[in-house]
């Protein structure tokens, strides 16, 4: 190295033998560190061929992963700012400059893999003196300006990179480099140190119901109710399981507002719950301080992204038909699984109907906005398209937190596990987001501190049993056995009826008297008006027997010239069975009117029960009788229904379909399930009509009239779960696609 420098030295005396020695001035950087106290410090590094001009006694000390928590801190108990909490550090450096030849010294702070420096500081005057230094920082302007040798991570505010003016986890690790220049010779012109801002801990939390938009349509369920119920059942999202993790969608949708014979159930359910319920889930965040402990430092997150991912966890059920339909492209969608596919109305493989929809968010503050979601959420538009990114608040009530509105599909049975990752890491080679991959890994490979997973959440429909009313203490059944038929459809019928309610005697007789007054004169002959209808028995309407009717006619009117027998034939009452049929029609119509007055005001299902529709059903040899009827009561609606059960439980003790099957069957009709082929109205040319609504390979559907064990067929189960009927085949195997 050539050095051009003018030097002035004294001449040697003529009688002396000593000489003047001219020394080349040397300078350089000995070390630079970020320090907290005397023991916590970062390591420093010199260029490969550098030789320090002075020995550093602590050259082998320091942490390669030294970190600290920048910015203000919160108390984690109150989750509010605490001015007594901070993690300030010092920038320490050591210069070799005994000859005062350093002319320039520059500190540069670099964020990960980026040039030029994000922050630069020129050292001046006393900052260049030989020896150890602690950098002094200035804050404020004018008379408010202060100086301190402690640094809290503040840097120049950058709207895109450092929106709060502090270093963040997003751009960690950071490199602080000191470079010097001078007039002499140096073998250590620079040194640098690396430090980090680490996410130390994450914790799933429930959000606030207030961030769910309120429903202004009184005809629709409260959109906040599913979340409130879920939060009550499960205090922590990570602990959700098949019981506590149920997301109940109140969905009273009955055939009075639609039809059993088309796709009304799907259409009305879609109108009611749209893209699914809204479940706010947050994550609380901690960073690692210089002591290695987790602290709440909200400003440390800046625009760090958090990736929200989901896994389909629905398992195969008892129905082969339903399983085939669930297997529709189960191994090729992303994510794969058996949740309802987008082509059947679900969200599996539907980028437009994501599980974590985009949210605009709003500026962090201490007051939350009613009906608005606080955090910004963006749908991933690259490889993992079914996932979304959220950002955290850096201050305010939700400082140090982030979150999403989890929106599972409305399809009952769909089951989810959620994952959230700190997604700021990028690959060393391509320098792209490390987690932005389209593989099906669950969870994604990342440090355990940077990921969380929830328990499992499953969508269920919720219905209410509102009233069980009988006449004269008629024995009836509980709701449990009936509702069990609907569990495979992921429908929970909750009993809100309380105890069985008897119909008041005076009201019964008054109601019947009014109805009786509207009958034709001929029909009135069937009833002895002197009989107390309520006390006559547990059956519905009490009629004269066939013989009593004939005796009454014969004794009350003159006989026709041809005799009474032809008259009985012409009026269709010549046999006991024909007479009973007419009476039954009158009885059912009367019971429909009598019980209509007792329809509850609240939405749900009600059961009105008598032991047979009339006394003649009790007698043998009178032909068939109706034991259940899913009547559309005048006081009913799309959200309110009731059915008549017109037989005593003892009627089913002889090995029939079971005491609960008839109520369950009638509920099925109200839920828009028709009879399958060869049942009831399907006769003659329509004998095989199943309305394209039943599993062609099953004969014992609950909606049939078969004796013995009955269950809802797979097609019925899927319809009840909300699937689109129009795209399903009645042939099971056709619904399965590889």
List b or e across 444-462, with b for residues whose CB sees 16 or more CB atoms inside 10 angstroms.
beeeeebbbbbbbbbbbbb
pLDDT of 242 reads: 95
HSE, CB side, 13 Å, CA atoms: give it for residue 528: 17
pLDDT of 1 reads: 46
Average pLDDT over residues 647-663: 72
Beta strands (DSSP E) in 82-173 are 90-96, 102-110, 119-122, 131-134, 137-139, 146-148
Q: Give the total residue count for the chain.
A: 738
| CB-CB contact of 711 with 658 (8 Å) | no
Average pLDDT over residues 157-172: 92
From CA 483, how far away is CA 465, in angstroms rounded? 9
Cis amide leading into 188 (omega within 30): no
| 173: Cα separation from own chain's centroid | 35
Average pLDDT over residues 466-493: 88
Nearest CA-CA partner of 708 in 667, 668, 654: 654
What is the token pair recorded at 551?
């005796």
Helix (H) or strand (E) holding 554: helix 546-556
707 vs 700 pLDDT, higher one: 700
The angle at the Cα of 54, spanning 49 to 55, to the nearest 5 degrees, equals 90
Q: Tell whether the model's pLDDT for residue 656 goes beyond 60.
A: no
From CA 145, how far away is CA 166, in angstroms rounded? 19
- Break the chain into its structural domains and give their ranges: 28-197, 201-462, 499-735
The band of 556, judged by pLDDT with boundaries at 50, 70 and 90, is: very high
**pTM of the full predicted structure?**
0.91
From CA 214, how far away is CA 209, in angstroms rounded? 9
Radius of gyration, alpha carbons of the chain: 41
> Under DSSP, is residue 325 helix (H, G, I), strand (E, B) or coil?
helix
pLDDT in tens, 496-514: 998 889 999 989 999 999 9
The band of 11, judged by pLDDT with boundaries at 50, 70 and 90, is: low
397 C-beta neighbours (distance < 10 Å), count: 15
405 C-beta neighbours (distance < 10 Å), count: 24
Beginning with the edge strand found earlier in the chain, give each strand of the sheet holding 190-195 in spatial order.
44-45, 190-195, 174-182, 102-110, 119-122
pLDDT in tens, 520-550: 999 999 999 999 999 999 999 999 999 999 9
29 C-beta neighbours (distance < 10 Å), count: 28
The band of 423, judged by pLDDT with boundaries at 50, 70 and 90, is: very high
Q: Give, in order, the Cα–Cα distances in Å from 704 to each of 536, 657, 679, 709, 730.
A: 33, 10, 6, 11, 16
pLDDT of 661 reads: 86
The angle at the Cα of 239, spanning 238 to 243, to the nearest 5 degrees, equals 130
Name the DSSP letter for residue 690: -
Nearest CA-CA partner of 237 in 251, 222, 247: 247
| CB-CB contact of 573 with 597 (8 Å) | no
Residue in this structure with the two tokens 């008297």, named with its chain if needed: 513
From CA 491, how far away is CA 249, in angstroms rounded? 9
The band of 129, judged by pLDDT with boundaries at 50, 70 and 90, is: very high
pLDDT in tens, 219-231: 889 999 999 999 9
145 vs 656 pLDDT, higher one: 145
Largest CA distance in the chain: 179
What is the token pair recorded at 258?
């639609």
Average pLDDT over residues 138-160: 87
pLDDT in tens, 335-375: 999 999 999 999 998 777 889 999 999 999 999 999 999 99
Q: Give, in order, the Cα–Cα distances in Å from 651 to each of 175, 393, 509, 620.
A: 84, 65, 26, 13
From CA 437, how far away is CA 594, in angstroms rounded? 65
Phi/psi-derived region of residue 684, left when phi > 0, alpha when psi is between -120 and 50, beta in every other case: left
pLDDT of 4 reads: 64
Helix (H) or strand (E) holding 586: helix 576-596
Helix segments in 54-154, DSSP class H? none
What mean pLDDT is reported for the chain? Answer: 91
What is the token pair recorded at 261?
């014979």
Nearest CA-CA partner of 281 in 360, 355, 345: 355
Beta strands (DSSP E) in 512-666 are 604-609, 628-629, 640-645
Nearest CA-CA partner of 230 in 190, 270, 277, 183: 277
Nearest CA-CA partner of 572 in 582, 563, 562, 564: 582
pLDDT of 2 reads: 53
Q: Terminus-to-terminus CA distance in the chain, angstroms?
A: 74
């Amino acid at each position: 190295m050539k050095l051009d420098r003018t030097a002035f030295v004294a001449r040697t005396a003529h009688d002396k033998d000593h000489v003047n020695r001219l020394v080349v001035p040397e300078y350089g950087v000995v070390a630079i560190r970020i320090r907290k106290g005397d023991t916590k410090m970062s390591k420093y590094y010199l260029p490969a061929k550098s030789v320090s001009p002075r020995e550093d006694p602590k050259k082998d000390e320091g942490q390669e992963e030294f970190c600290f928590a920048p910015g203000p801190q919160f108390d984690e108990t109150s989750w509010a700012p605490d001015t007594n909490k901070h993690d300030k550090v010092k920038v320490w450096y050591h210069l070799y400059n005994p000859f005062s030849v350093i002319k320039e010294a520059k500190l540069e702070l670099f964020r990960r893999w980026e040039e030029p420096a994000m922050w630069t500081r020129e050292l001046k005057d006393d900052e260049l003196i030989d020896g150890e230094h602690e950098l002094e920082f200035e804050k404020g302007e004018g008379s408010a300006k202060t100086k301190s040798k402690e640094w809290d991570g503040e840097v120049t505010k950058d709207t895109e990179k450092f929106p709060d003016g502090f270093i963040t986890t997003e751009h960690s690790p950071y490199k602080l480099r000191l470079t010097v220049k001078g007039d002499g010779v140096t073998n250590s012109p620079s040194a640098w140190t690396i430090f980090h801002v680490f996410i130390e801990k994450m914790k799933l939390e429930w959000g606030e119901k207030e961030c769910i938009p309120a429903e202004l349509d009184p005809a629709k369920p409260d959109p906040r109710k599913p979340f409130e119920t879920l939060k009550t059942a499960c205090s922590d999202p990570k602990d959700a399981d098949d019981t506590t993790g149920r997301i109940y969608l109140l969905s009273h949708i009955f055939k009075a507002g639609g039809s059993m014979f088309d796709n009304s159930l799907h259409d009305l359910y879609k109108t009611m719950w749209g893209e699914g319920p809204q479940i706010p889930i947050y994550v609380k965040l901690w960073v690692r301080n210089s002591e290695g402990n987790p602290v709440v430092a909200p400003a440390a997150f800046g625009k760090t992204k958090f990736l929200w991912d989901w896994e389909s966890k629905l398992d195969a059920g008892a129905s082969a038909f339903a399983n085939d339909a669930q297997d529709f492209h189960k191994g090729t969608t992303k994510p794969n699984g058996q949740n309802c596919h987008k082509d059947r109305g679900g969200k599996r493989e539907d980028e437009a109907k994501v599980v974590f929809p985009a949210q605009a968010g709003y500026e962090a503050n201490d007051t939350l906005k009613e009906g608005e979601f606080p955090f910004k959420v963006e749908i991933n538009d690259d490889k993992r398209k079914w996932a979304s990114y959220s950002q955290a608040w850096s201050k305010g009530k939700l400082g140090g937190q982030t979150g999403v509105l989890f929106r599972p599909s409305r399809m009952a049975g769909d089951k989810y596990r959620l994952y959230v990752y700190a997604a700021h890491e990028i690959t060393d080679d391509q320098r792209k987001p490390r987690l932005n991959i389209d593989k099906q890994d669950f969870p994604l490979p990342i440090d355990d501190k940077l990921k969380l997973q929830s328990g499992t959440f499953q969508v269920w429909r919720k219905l209410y049993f509102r009233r069980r009313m009988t006449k004269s203490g008629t024995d009836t059944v509980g709701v449990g056995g009936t509702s069990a038929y609907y569990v495979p459809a992921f429908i929970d019928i909750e009993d809100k009826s309380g105890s069985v309610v008897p119909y008041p005697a005076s009201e019964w007789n008054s109601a019947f008297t009014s109805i009786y007054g509207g009958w034709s004169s001929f029909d009135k002959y069937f009833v002895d008006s002197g009989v107390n209808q309520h006390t006559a028995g547990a059956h519905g309407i009490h009629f004269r027997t066939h013989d009593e009717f004939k005796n009454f006619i014969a004794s009350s009117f003159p006989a026709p010239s041809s005799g009474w027998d032809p008259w009985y034939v012409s009026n269709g009452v010549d046999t006991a069975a024909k007479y009973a049929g007419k009476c039954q029609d009158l009885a059912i119509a009367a019971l429909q009117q009598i019980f209509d007055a007792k329809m509850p005001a609240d939405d749900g299902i009600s059961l009105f029960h008598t032991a047979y529709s009339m006394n003649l059903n009790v007698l043998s040899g009178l032909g068939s009788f109706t034991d259940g009827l899913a009547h559309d009561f005048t006081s009913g609606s799309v959200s309110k229904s009731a059915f008549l059960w017109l037989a005593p439980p003892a009627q089913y003790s002889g090995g029939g379909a079971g005491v609960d099957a008839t109520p369950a069957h009638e509920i099925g009709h109200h839920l828009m399930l028709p009879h399958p082929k060869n049942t009831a109205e399907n006769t003659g040319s329509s004998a095989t009509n199943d309305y394209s609504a039943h599993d062609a390979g099953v004969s014992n559907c609950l909606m049939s009239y078969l004796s013995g064990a009955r269950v809802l067929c797979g097609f019925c189960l899927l319809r009840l779960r909300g699937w689109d009927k129009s795209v399903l085949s009645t042939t099971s195997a056709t619904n399965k696609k590889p």
